[in-house]
Amino acid sequence: MAAEQSKQKVIFDHDGGVDDLLSLMLLLTMQHVELLAVTITPADCYLSDATVSTQKILAMFGQDHIPIAQGRLHGINAFPAEWKAQPKICNAFPDMLTQKFNSDSLSAKAADELIAELLMQHDKVSLLMTGPCSNLVAAIEYLPAILPAIEQLIWMGGAVDVPGNVAMHNHNKSAEWNAYWDPIASAKLFTYGIEIKLISLDATNCLPVNLSFLSDLAAQKGNHVSHLAGQFWATTINSIPSYEFTYFMWDVLATSVLALPSSAIKFEDVELNVLISEPNAGQTYRCQGSGQWAKVATWVDKQQVLDYVLEQFKRDF
């Protein structure tokens, strides 16, 4: 019990992409984390696929008592259908097909309701979000009293001093997709005074998935988790030939922030605001006086992140 109390409490909200699933695996390797729940945003995925993947990964790590809740909110700007379908293949790998899971762990509550409920019951909770922020924003709008329970929010989202990755007819590429999906929620997120660590494209751009890293991971494929992670990452190598050609370790970097030493990542305090109208919807920009201060990751020790991921995936569960 005493050991449990000293653990870092985390609620993880993801949106079912391949790197969201890898992030869940990485999170489950972290001995210092007590995972309170996993909630799913139906953004860069199909909700049913993402739910099964989540249930099976939790079961694989012997953690299938952890509650899961599905999001009921949909952003204004849908993800391309090809991207949403991409993680489907993860559920088709033999290790995933044969994995049993606990269907009781799927909560009858919606994601925003479960987040609100848990933040009423716990304090000093870290939120890790690797998709859009709509579930959290809805929870706060419904119950602002939960705000003091949030110790920090680590969010993979935004692009501050670098171009975004939204390439749509109504956009000028100034935004990152998680912030663009629901730009109104993204703008609200920076009004509550939450301690936000923003893992934006500024930091993730240095971590493309490449064969050198995958070779290092393959060298430890005798380990079950490394083997499955290698298969998941392999599906991103022929990154969907629409809009963009490189798959990055976006969410995996954000997840690593829970464990990386301060020497491995630099944050800059930036006053930020979010635009909500096209062609800039979801753009996270530096402002003066009208925004909220956030810690934006500006530099990461790339090798330290990769070494950490390799080390964690080497462990047996």
3-class secondary structure, 6: coil
Q: Does 250 interact with ligand AGV (rule: CB under 6 A)?
A: yes
Q: Which of 105, 130, 175 has the alpha carbon at shortest distance from 18?
A: 130
Q: How far is CA 125 from CA 122, 150, 153, 237, in A?
A: 7, 5, 9, 35
Mask of contacts with ligand AGV, 80-99, x by CB under 6 A? ---x--x-------------
Q: Does 239 interact with ligand AGV (rule: CB under 6 A)?
A: yes
Q: Does 44 interact with ligand AGV (rule: CB under 6 A)?
A: yes
In the complex with ligand AGV, the residue whose CB is nearer, 206 or 240, is 240
Q: Does 15 interact with Ca ion (rule: CB under 5 A)?
A: yes
Judged by CB under 5 A, the chain residues 91 through 110 that form the site for Ca ion are none
Quick one: tokens of 247? Answer: 């798959």
Nearest residue to ligand AGV, by Cβ distance, number only: 17
Beta bridge partners of 300: 265
Residue 209: is it exposed, middle or buried by C-beta count within 10 angstroms (0-12/13-18/19+)?
buried
Helix then strand count (H, E) for the chain reads 14, 10
Q: Does 130 interact with Ca ion (rule: CB under 5 A)?
A: yes
In the complex with ligand AGV, the residue whose CB is nearer, 59 or 240, is 240
Q: Does 180 interact with ligand AGV (rule: CB under 6 A)?
A: no
**Residues interacting with Ca ion, by CB under 5 A?**
15, 17, 20, 130-131, 251
**Residues interacting with ligand AGV, by CB under 6 A?**
17, 19-20, 44, 83, 86, 130-131, 156, 165, 176-178, 239-240, 244, 247, 250-251
